[in-house]
Structure 1
Amino acid sequence: MIFDTLLLNAEVATASDRYRADIGIRDGRIAAIGRDLGRADHTLDAAGRLVTPGGVDAHCHLDQPTSDGSKMADDFVTGTRSAACGGTTTIIPFACQFKGQSLQAAVDDYHRRSEGKAAIDYAFHLIVSDPTPGVLRDELPRLVAAGYTSFKVYMTYDDMKLDDRQILNLLAVARREGAMTMIHAENADCIGWLTEQLLDAGLGAPRYHAHARPMLVEREATHRAIALAELADVPILIVHVSGREAVDQIRTAQGLGLKVFGETCPQYLFLTGDDLGGEGFEGAKCICSPPPRDKANQEVIWRGLENGTFHVLSSDHAPFAYAGPDGKKAHGPDAPFSEVPNGIPGLETRMPLLMSHGVMDGRIDIHSFVALASTNAARLYGLFPRKGTIAVGSDADLVVWDMDRPRTIRNALLHHAVDYTPYEGIEVKAWPAMTLSRGEVVWRDGEYLGRAGHGQFLPCERPALAGTRGRGHRGPLWKPN
């Protein structure tokens, strides 16, 4: 057989296996794995280095419209460029419905924003903020059947939040249609009351964002979300979990056999509430929800990665610039924390941080790394085995890792369009030496080689979630009826 590309001398690692092999690629897919595979038009040499599946970042925001006058710095050109340079080869951002808008209109708008721009493959989650009878009866089932098989529900933010009855209605649709529901779990009324008390007392600096969102508001909402899912008898995924109190709720539910999956993000492993207290307005750079907690809660999140509480590590990339009139300072350079756009950048740094401080520091093994960074997200959202593994027939999305050149994260070296990174100054021991997206080299030896338009939109299957654990990864399993 003649291949388009042969990747030679790879130390292949998946969520379950590790072995030495060459990888033969034809028409963007893995055609053979073995030794002495034959000839190829092009050869690449992994030189015995670790090769993992390309990352699947299943929670990120790119060029997403907002309702407060702010604007995201990254579109699908710059966001996917940044992802590729950090080893991610598939992203799943959000088509966001505003109240009064149809879901289909939100999807159509997001396709216009993404078409011809992505350097890597992508799918869409839906954000449902206006679950009218027509959305529940007609639009959502039709979109699930068309490949938009996951949607996000907010329990906070005034322009997005749903009440319990609305959430139950959506969970019922998810059960009937075999879709996955993601839930942002924070108690909106508690946050609103605390915010009012703080602002009335003149406490509007960025550091007080964490005071308005203590762990108990995440704990209560997580408990309530789990109860609603139990009532509807449907799986849910609790997104961006920040600390012990929400973790305890998820672990209790998993121990009872409930179908509850967990996601966390690098900000809860590497940032703390102290990062919100920078000089002047600097703390706004780290405003995200839920907020970072403290060092003790960082350890709780690490343990959740180790023991299988969490199935996915996502970036929750929300790229608002610090300088300029439409990012973090959209409402002025001295705006109260309640008016600062929420979110931090992290597409490019997600996998190097987890490889360096997870695998190389001995907290998780390489199989759990692959599960958390790639395989489990592909399973949860209906992209496996096309994405998330190294197997014959899978897309040739591959990362060759350089683990011999320690470096310091500097925003000047990153490839997003944001003017800062919250991980500035953190040391990492690993970075992708090469990233392949469907067999095409998009990053190699510090040079971005991707091109806008290479990335394809991926309709998702209804998820079949048996096997989302990785080696040593415990958690509930589910197949839709």
Structure 2
Amino acid sequence: MDDLDLLITNGIVVTASDEAKLDIGIKNGKIAILAPQGLLNTAKKVINAKGGYITPGGVDTHVHLEEPALFGGKGRSSDNFETGTRSAICGGTTTIVAFAPQAKTEGSLLEVLKETHERARGNCYADYSFHMLCGNPSEKALSEFPELRRQGISSLKIYLTYEALQLRDDQVLDVLYSSRKEGFTTMIHAENGDVLNWMTKKLEALNLVAPKYHATSRPQLVETEATYRAIMLAELMDAPILVVHVSSPSAAAHLRNAQTRGLPVYAETCPQYLFLTREDLDKPGFEGAKCVCSPPPRENSGDHDAIWLGLSNGTFTVLSSDHCPFDYENTEIGKKSTLSVEHPNGKFAHIPNGLPGVETRLATVLSAGRLSMQKFVEVTSTNAAKLYGLYPQKGSILPGVSDADLVIWYPSQGKDGALTPFTLTNSMLHHRCDYTPYEGQVLTQWPRYTILRGEVVYDHEGEGLQALAIQAPKRSDFFIVQKSAVSIAKPLSMVSINGLPPVGMGGDQFVDVDGIEARVASAGSEVDEHTAVGAEVSVTAEALNVDLVANLFVLSDRG
């Protein structure tokens, strides 16, 4: 084929299911042909992959950009659609899914979608789509689900925490009911807002307000209970859910159990739960605020190991960034906006929650070397595209079908052309944030080239961002319509997560949304659900030495 626009030679092509030494021919922004190495000879442009891996462009489906204030605080995200998608491209992510957020005071989801389109249109370097963020499931909002579907939206997010966004259980059921009818996937932020509010008040009464107490106010039990409740509500409605940014091994155990029972329950985790711990919140002065996010980084490497295991064995469907950056030094809208004379080290409850991560997501995880290449592609690209109706246009390398969105990586360590290991610093990154929580981490990989729709948009060795500006100008047609979700394989066996036994939940009732008839479905277990879950929680609490009420008094003695 001598009419190719781009030919990539001498690479190892990796998808979620295969790995092979192939050359890739690209034409009109699409994958045109995969051929044995050496069979294709000419094209308008040729790139020698030098034996490096070639993967589908990253698909990051949890990115917060240019959102209006929803939480009542001073914090404002430092990245807009231009800077956030620029950062994504430089880190190998070619498609992001951001949020169109609806506050509790707003009635229409269609109106906030229109406003979000206006902020993004013509300002994005990467392809993009949106999730709705539903803070007010009013009758009007729920009636708009069919039109949202027609406009290319098939997913939305709800919260079980944050006073400004938290939904009651009956409201959650309203959302799940409508989602089930219209084919939406519901993303759920699973933390028990009432419990963490109670914890926060007790800590504040003891003047325990430094950044490190953010983790104390949100123990794993807060996440575990809400995760279990989300699963039960979803089972009642027979509706698909994805629990976002899971940090807790015990929450992961509940998710694993639900999956093995055949429920349409999916899970997401993020790099901060693989690399950061609560010790990062306890840095000198106010430095710990840089790592304040929710859920917080957990206790130790044992928790990391459990999350890595969940990625490897299929418990976690996707690995997203939850990119939500706030400048550290900015005293007006950044992390330091909470500082005062009375509280020179800030108050954890008022620190803007979120971290930058869209650019570092792929390189940090790949450099860690704990996932196979096929699993890496699966959780960072393919599964996200499948879950949110973007596959096979995105997340795959299928001739004639897939967009030519690719990352060419450096050859593996020890091979000719390998990247010299380097220490990550914020100055190397392209987001609009004055820090990275991964400062000082040694990396062995970074995208050598990022290719979007057949165009080289990032060249790490040569033009760098100049190529981005010259070859991939911001366009208005980068919005990707979400179609129907594609089936994703679920775990078939219950396994121990970090030493916790699989949890039996017994038989449960769920609502047949189509017929509005309750029926009983047996899960094939004779174990009483309350006994089983209580036993697991007890094990978790003992392992983490978390006796919530007692520890408040211990903490008051420690100061």
Report the Cα distance in structure 2 between the residues aligned to 1:153 and 1:122, rounded to whole angstroms: 20
Provide the residue aligned with 1:46 in structure 2: 49
Provide the residue aligned with 1:472 in structure 2: none
The 5 Å alignment of 1:76-475 reads 76-101=81-106, 102-137=108-143, 139-295=144-300, 296-324=302-330, 325-332=332-339, 334=344, 335-357=346-368, 360=369, 363-392=370-399, 393-402=401-410, 403=412, 404-405=418-419, 406-446=421-461, 447-448=464-465, 449-451=467-469, 452-454=473-475, 456-467=478-489
Equivalent residues of 2:92, 2:359 under 8 A apart? yes
Report the Cα distance in structure 1 between the residues aligned to 2:74 and 2:54, rounded to whole angstroms: 42
1:39 CA displacement: 3.2
Q: Secondary structure at the match of 1:3?
A: coil
Equivalent residues of 1:7, 1:43 under 8 A apart? yes
1:462 CA displacement: 2.1
Output one character per residue of 1:424-462: Cα deviation in whole Å (capped at 9) or x when no partner. Answer: 111111111111011111111251222451470111002
Provide the residue aligned with 1:58 in structure 2: 61
Structure 2 unaligned segments of length 5 or more: list them: 413-417, 492-512, 515-559
- Aligned pairs, number: 467
1:32–1:259 Cα change, 3 Å: same
Equivalent residues of 1:264, 1:314 under 8 A apart? yes
Equivalent residues of 2:326, 2:352 under 8 A apart? yes
Higher relative contact order (CA 8 A, sep 6+): 1
Report the Cα distance in structure 2 between the residues aligned to 1:467 and 1:242, rounded to whole angstroms: 22
Equivalent residues of 1:329, 1:340 under 8 A apart? yes
Report the Cα distance in structure 2 between the residues aligned to 1:140 and 1:337, rounded to whole angstroms: 37
Equivalent residues of 1:375, 1:468 under 8 A apart? no
Report the Cα distance in structure 1 between the residues aligned to 2:180 and 2:245, rounded to whole angstroms: 23
Report the Cα distance in structure 2 between the residues aligned to 1:110 and 1:321, rounded to whole angstroms: 22
Output one character per residue of 1:165-210: Cα deviation in whole Å (capped at 9) or x when no partner. Answer: 0011110111111111100000000010000000011011100000
Report the Cα distance in structure 2 between the residues aligned to 1:468 and 1:120, rounded to whole angstroms: 30
1:9 CA displacement: 1.8
Q: Secondary structure at the match of 1:430?
A: coil
Q: Secondary structure at the match of 1:131?
A: coil
Provide the residue aligned with 2:25 in structure 1: 24
1:13 CA displacement: 0.4
Output one character per residue of 1:232-284: Cα deviation in whole Å (capped at 9) or x when no partner. Answer: 00111111000211111111212222211111000000000010111111111
Output one character per residue of 1:383-424: Cα deviation in whole Å (capped at 9) or x when no partner. Answer: 000000111120000011014221111111111110000001
Equivalent residues of 1:58, 1:93 under 8 A apart? yes
**What is the letter of the counterpart of residue 55 of structure 2?**
T
Output one character per residue of 1:369-390: Cα deviation in whole Å (capped at 9) or x when no partner. Answer: 0001100000000000000011
**What is the letter of the counterpart of residue 347 of structure 1?**
V
Equivalent residues of 1:371, 1:468 under 8 A apart? no
Output the aligned Cα RMSD. 1.7
Which piece of structure 1 moves more, 259-268 or 31-40? 31-40
1:60 CA displacement: 1.0
Who wins on radius of gyration, i.e. which is larger? 2
1:468 CA displacement: 7.5
Q: Secondary structure at the match of 1:330?
A: helix
1:300–1:177 Cα change, 3 Å: same
Provide the residue aligned with 1:474 in structure 2: none
1:38 CA displacement: 5.3
Output one character per residue of 1:327-367: Cα deviation in whole Å (capped at 9) or x when no partner. Answer: 1123335431111110000011100111111xx3xx32111
Structure 1 unaligned segments of length 5 or more: list them: 470-479
Output one character per residue of 1:30-78: Cα deviation in whole Å (capped at 9) or x when no partner. Answer: 1111143353222111122110000000111111111333221111111
TM-score norm. by structure 2 comes to 0.81
Report % sequence identity: 48
Equivalent residues of 2:211, 2:282 under 8 A apart? yes
Q: Secondary structure at the match of 2:212?
A: helix
1:467 CA displacement: 4.8
Report the Cα distance in structure 1 between the residues aligned to 2:333 and 2:444, rounded to whole angstroms: 35
Report the Cα distance in structure 2 between the residues aligned to 1:14 and 1:321, rounded to whole angstroms: 36
Report the Cα distance in structure 1 between the residues aligned to 2:460 and 2:288, rounded to whole angstroms: 34
1:100 CA displacement: 2.5
Report the Cα distance in structure 2 between the residues aligned to 1:365 and 1:312, rounded to whole angstroms: 15
Provide the residue aligned with 1:14 in structure 2: 15
